[in-house]
Each structure stands twice: as C-alpha cells, then as structure tokens.
Amino acid sequence: MRRLRKPPGLFRRIASLTMLAWVLGFLWFALLLPQPADDRTTDGIVVVTGGGGRIPRALTELRAGHARKLLIAGVDREVKPGEFAAEYGVEPRLLQCCITLGYDSVDTRSNGLEAARWVAAQRLHSIRLITTDWHMRRAAFDLAAALPDDIVIVRDAVPSRPSLRILFLEYNKLLARIGAWAAGW
C-alpha cells in the first residue's frame, strides 16, 4: 500500500521562505556593493575610522573643495592632533579650520550619534559619508537614524575586496541593527 506524503507544515514553509529571503538579500548585499560618489559638493564630510583608504579619501574630498568641514568619527583617544596630521600629511591650517577629530564613538551606531551631534553643531544641511563599500549600508542606516530627515546624505564608498566572511558578518550585523531599530532599541 502506497503511503501519501503529508504536505509541509506551516512552520516549514515559513522557515523556507525566511531562508530564501535571507539568501536573496545576501546576494543583493554582496554583489551590489555601494560605489564611490560623484564630485558633488556637500556642507561636510563624515568619515568613520576602521578601514584602509577611508581617511585618505575624506582628505582628498576636503582638499578638492567638495566640502568645507570634516569629522573623523571614532578616533582613538590616544591619537593627538599632531600625530594625526603627521600620519596623513595634513597641514596645520587645514587641521585647525576644517577638521574635527571625534573621540566619542566606539562602534558604527555611536559613529552615527557622534556625527549627528557634529552636524547639528555645525548647522550642516548635507554631508558626504565615507566608509568602506561593505560597511556603507549599516553606517548610512545608523547615521540616517540619528539625523533629522531633512539632512541629505551622499554615500561615498571606498572600494575594497572583502572576503566572504566579512560580507557574511556585515550582512548579519545590518539585519540585526535593522531589527533592533524596528523593535525600538
């Protein structure tokens, strides 16, 4: 006698759809990384520390006149302005007039909060966010969550060659951050 198969239960269907959504989302995340921005001008630049090429890119944009102010968020408290200037070849005049070293943040979420305070204090209306391509979506999410809706954010990603491990971790961090935000945390 032939036994009929029982159709998958509701739980299995939901689990399958969830897994499919995660896989498709990960493919989107990994294959369509954000790109560098064009040369448009913004009021300020926010760069978050942590990855190669970020600070040099921000300094290039500042020197090119694409913004008048620069915040480097997440600077280690041990770094003195003179050390920073020597490390990146920043002339004293530029450091004094236009660059703020932000020592208050320790992670992506607090980078957004530190940047939002700086944007308000500087009375800026548009900013260029500079970070690594694989980090851009989460950094932009946290920054947008901390800023008023009328502030324009131009995403300027520094191209990289992230490993599958980095992409996997960053994608899951982004999902966790969105979930925490949706839950009001």
Q: Give the percent of the chain with pLDDT over 70.
A: 96
pLDDT, tens digit (0-9, with 9 covering 90-100), for 97-130: 999 999 999 999 999 999 999 999 999 999 999 9
Question: What domains lie within the chain, and their CATH numbers?
Answer: 44-161 (3.40.50.620)
- Long-range contacts made by residues 85-93, C-beta under 8 angstroms, separation at least 24? 88/55, 88/56, 88/59, 90/59
pLDDT, tens digit (0-9, with 9 covering 90-100), for 150-179: 999 999 999 999 999 999 999 999 999 999
End-to-end Cα distance, the chain: 56
| Residue 48 DSSP class | E
